Structure 1
């Protein structure tokens, strides 16, 4: 059985990852699963109400995110194509994904948006802490990707068409392979 492909939409909160992912689904020729990390997080029985302290909350979030990585790998391992909606806002997230998705065809898409527009969207949404997107300064610290889109002045539909239209033109090695090789050379 061949492994499925993975498209990782990476960017800060409110940058448009979810909207782009939804817009991509009808454009892709094969069945794809859109698996946002917020969907996995929303499956928890509580939203931190039983946590005793910040360390306990952080431990729970890390377990959730590590589980998310493995859910994506499980789907892809059985031949399913997956779109991830996930910010690489902590260095360990990328490190873990490089390990868990080793041998998979991963396309890394950086979803960018101006700080002013991110702040405006956060205020309009009202479902995220103000400043969350601004605090996620590490989402692009890996400094490599396969595709970049900017949602500051472009619609999610336009960005989705751009991503899907460029998938077949990507050469090898892709960003995940380059990042994995760079990581191995540092070890």
Structure 2
């Protein structure tokens, strides 16, 4: 794997945090309780990322901003941190192929998350349709080294 930032750094996908949840307890929850549990988990994820960063770690979040409150909470929780917002694109056909191959999500979920980029700002854009993670990582590092001025999180915070 290509080190993107200074060591130590963490790739911290939100799905990794979700796998720590008790499946036995989760099966006992109704839809409203599941929604509340997911919100608590996501808020906790935001604070875990801030905790890792505040201890001097570089953190790469793998996280869709698919609900407006997520961005608002992150803007608050990550205030004072240097955040680079990367938009990761992929063709609809390839998204559906990947969802079918994964088998752990309904096909069409990614396309249904129309709010992910509704905030209209980003620092870097990569398209994963025809290239792998290593190529995208190199593209991100190249673009990241050229960023100057206020970044997307700072611009969004001041709107």
Distance 1:62 1:91 in 2: 12
Q: Which runs of 5+ in 1 are unaligned?
A: 1-22, 183-187
| Alpha-carbon shift at residue 166 of structure 1 (Å) | 1.8
Partner of 1:167: 144
Give the corresponding residue for 1:98. 75
1:134 to 84, 105, 111: 111
Partner of 2:31: 54
Q: Which runs of 4+ in 1 moved over 4 A?
A: none
Q: Which runs of 5+ in 2 are unaligned?
A: none
Secondary structure at 2:149's aligned position in 1?
coil
**TM value normalised by structure 2:** 0.94
Cα distance between partner residues in 1 of 2:133 and 2:10: 18
**2:132 equivalent among 155, 159, 163:** 155
2:88 aligned with 1:111? yes
Q: In the comparison of the two structures, how many residue pairs are matched?
A: 158
> How far 1:29 sits from its partner (Å)?
3.9
TM-score, length-scaled by structure 1: 0.81
Structure 1: distance between partners of 2:143 and 2:108:
32
Contact 2:5 2:58 in 1 (8 A): no
